[in-house]
Structure 1
C-alpha cells in the first residue's frame, strides 16, 4: 500500500451558529489542508499519481471557497462550516475529482490553527 500527502491552503471567513462562544461571531482562518491519497500499486511511470495533477485538482476546488464567507456557500447553508464539515466537504469533492480504480482520497485534514485540526477519512 502506498500513501501520498499534498499540503495546500485557503483563507476564508465563517461563523458557527449555536456555538455560544467567540466563534459564533464572524471571523476568519488561514486553513492548511492535508490531502492523503492511497493506492495498492503504482502506474506505469512508478507513481501513485503525479503531484502536479493532485495540486491542480485541489486548486480548482479550493479556489471555489478561497476568500469567501463559507456560511453563504450552498454546501454550508444547512450546516455549520466547522473544520469537521469542511474536511468532509473537501474529502467528497476531491474524491469525486481524483478517485479512480487505483487511487483513492483516503483522508483530508483541515487545520484552522497551528494547534487544532479536524480530519475526515475512509474507515477501515
Structure 2
C-alpha cells in the first residue's frame, strides 16, 4: 500500500480596480496612466486537513483577501505609499497581496504556502507563491 499525506489547496477569488502608469520605456504605451481590473485568485495550501476537515474556513479566506485588497481598490498605485519608487506591474501587485495575506494569517494557521494569481486579461496572468512556516 502506498503511504502519503495529500496536499490540499483552497482558492478564493476577488477583483480589484486600480490605476497606474509604468514609467519606463520598456512598457511602451503602458507608460501612460491607465486603469486595470485584476481578477485575484488567492490559494492557501496545507499538508493534510485540519481538525475540521478543511484547509481553512472559506469565509475567513475570503475576508482576508477582501481586507488585503481594500487599500488598493480604486486607487492610483502611482500615489499609493506601498508602491513608492516601484513599478506596479502585475507581478509586483501579486507579491504585495501575497505578503499582506501571509502577514494577516492567524497564529497557528498550519498552512505551508500562500499563492496569489492576478489575471490582467483572459490571456495574461502573473502568480507568486510564498512558502510559510506551518508552526507560525
Instruction: String of CA shifts for 1:31-62, please: whole Å, max 9, x gaps.
Output: 00111111112222211111110111111111
State yes or no: 1:62 paired with 2:97: no
Instruction: String of CA shifts for 1:15-38, please: whole Å, max 9, x gaps.
Output: 001135110000011100111111
Structure 2 unaligned residues grouped into runs of 5+: 1-6, 132-136
Assess, with a 3 A threshold, how the Cα gap between structure 1 residues 122 and 29 changes in structure 2: closer, same or farther: same
- The Cα shift of 1:103 comes to 1.4
- TM-score normalised to the size of structure 1? 0.91
Asked if 1 retains the 8 angstrom alpha-carbon contact of 2:17 and 2:36, the reply is: yes
Aligned to 1:42: 49
Structure 1 unaligned residues grouped into runs of 5+: none
Task: Tell me the secondary structure at the aligned position of residue 80 of structure 1.
Answer: coil
- The Cα shift of 1:105 comes to 4.0
Asked if 2 retains the 8 angstrom alpha-carbon contact of 1:37 and 1:107, the reply is: yes
Asked if 2 retains the 8 angstrom alpha-carbon contact of 1:94 and 1:105, the reply is: no
State yes or no: 1:76 paired with 2:83: yes
Give aligned pairs, total: 123
Write the distance in 1 (CA, Å) between the matches of 2:27 and 2:98. 28
Write the distance in 2 (CA, Å) between the matches of 1:35 and 1:105. 11
Bigger RCO of structures 1 and 2 (CA < 8 A, at least 6 apart): 1
Task: Tell me the secondary structure at the aligned position of residue 71 of structure 2.
Answer: coil
Assess, with a 3 A threshold, how the Cα gap between structure 1 residues 37 and 16 changes in structure 2: closer, same or farther: same
Q: Whose Rg is larger?
A: 2
